[in-house]
Amino acid sequence: MSLFRNWMSGNDVVGLDLGSATLKAVQLTSNGNTFRLEKIGYLALPEGTVACGDIIDALTLEAAIRELFEKEKFRAKSVAFAVQGDQVFSKKISLSAISYEELEAQLPMIAEQYLPHPPDDLNLDYHALSTENSTAQSVDFMLLGVKKKFLKTFISAIQGADLKPAFVDTVPSAISNLTEYIQLPPEPTAVVHVGAAFTQVIIFVNNLYQFHHTFDFGGHQITETLREKLHLSFTEAETLKMSTYKEKNLPENTKEIIEVACQSFFENLGQAFNLYLTAFPQAHIEKILLSGGTAKIPPLLEWTAQHFGCEADILNPFTGLDISEKEFNPLYLEDLAPIFSVACGLATRSKNT
């Protein structure tokens, strides 16, 4: 589903992740059951272009999108993108047996009851959380809404870059699209996507999206802690943080500062898991898959496994794709994998997939 409710443009779609720190773009095609990686690209954004899910400097963003598409020679001009932040609303709902056609027709009435703004002010959609069948007693779904004025700023920026918006998702929905070609373990598996400002927790069971929760924590909080403790500029602190991605043995003082900054991450992630276990008392988180640029900080994976007492790994959104090693260096893709989860999920929106 898409918060546009319909297609606005052609077949070939580029998944465009409009992050606070970087733009990421992916194009996939499909020949049936197999997805093929056609193109990828990324570009660092100037600080303050996008913050906490909001576009702050539209002209800089437009120029950056245009530069990325020209640099990587993306021929497709239609894009799927994702939104997040305090202008995006979601609510898990269960209704007695109802067809999805009826559900779609009733979305405005349901939204009026459960979302904090009038339906006329929102673009509405839903994401199914259970499989519809004749014996189901209820339908579980995530009701989604985004403020129309907020969404318009993204549409304008994309159009300003001479591109056509085709689909818009929420970040959790985009990540859940990865199950189109990635087979997750059947046991409860938490994908934890740590962006620049927000962390998205999406829990899957039997490869189906069952639960999600968002909290305020991201790579920028780590940067700010480094800046404050080491008396650096934001740019210097960001450079130091990113340099840790390739360092197996961090300086002890840097490692300690990052660990302090991550305490908020672990506390909030624990609360998210408690919410899930309250809703599903018989469940148990078996595996955590980290995603996002912050997942590249070397100790985070080990700390996460130790803190929650379960297996932890990095989510690789290129797993399961048909990839030409002549066109894409496997080590290069492995290094970039954590930052491309959202863009890869969005890229599955192409009609050609």
Coil vs helix vs strand at 353: coil
Backbone angles phi, psi at 253, to 5 degrees: -70, -35
Closest CA to 171 of 191, 150, 155, 156: 191
pTM, 2 dp = 0.91
Give CA–CA dist 39/268, Å, rounded.
Answer: 35
Give CA–CA dist 61/283, Å, rounded.
Answer: 42
Class of domain 184-315: alpha beta
Q: How far is CA 211 from CA 57, 63, 95, 348, in A?
A: 33, 36, 16, 21
Structure tokens at 132: 């519809």
Q: Where are the alpha helices (DSSP H) in the chain?
A: 58-72, 100-114, 148-160, 171-176, 219-230, 234-243, 252-279, 298-308, 330-336, 341-347
3-state secondary structure 266-293: HHHHHHHHHHHHHHCCCCCCCEEEEECH
Q: List the beta bridge partners of residue 210.
A: none
| CB half-sphere exposure, 105, CA atoms < 13 A | 5
275-301 pLDDT, tens digit each: 999 989 999 999 999 999 999 998 899
CATH superfamily of 1-89+145-182+317-353: ATPase, nucleotide binding domain (3.30.420.40)
Q: Are 86 and 111 in contact (CB under 8 A)?
A: no
Backbone angles phi, psi at 195, to 5 degrees: -90, -165
Backbone angles phi, psi at 38, to 5 degrees: -100, -45
Give CA–CA dist 45/34, Å, rounded.
Answer: 32
Give CA–CA dist 238/297, Å, rounded.
Answer: 12
Domain ranges of the chain: 1-89+145-182+317-353, 184-315
Any residues with CB less than 8 A from the CB of 348 and at least 6 apart, and which? 15, 28, 35, 177, 178, 180, 181
Give the pLDDT confidence score for residue 229 in this predicted structure: 95
In eight-state DSSP terms, residue 322 is B
Same fold, 1-89+145-182+317-353 and 184-315: yes
43-97 pLDDT, tens digit each: 999 989 999 899 999 999 999 999 999 999 999 999 999 999 999 998 888 888 7
Backbone angles phi, psi at 140, to 5 degrees: -100, 135
Rounded-to-5 percentages of helix, strand, coil across the chain: 40, 30, 30
Closest CA to 129 of 23, 203, 215: 203
For 36, other C-beta atoms within 10 Å of its C-beta total 15
Give CA–CA dist 334/320, Å, rounded.
Answer: 13
Give CA–CA dist 2/13, Å, rounded.
Answer: 14
Give the pLDDT confidence score for residue 3 in this predicted structure: 60
Give the pLDDT confidence score for residue 337 in this predicted structure: 96
Q: Are 184 and 97 in contact (CB under 8 A)?
A: no
Give the pLDDT confidence score for residue 243 in this predicted structure: 84
Per-block average pLDDT, block size 10, for the chain (353 residues)? 51 91 94 88 94 94 98 94 92 82 89 92 84 58 92 96 94 94 95 95 93 94 95 91 78 90 97 95 95 92 96 96 94 95 93 50
Give CA–CA dist 166/85, Å, rounded.
Answer: 21
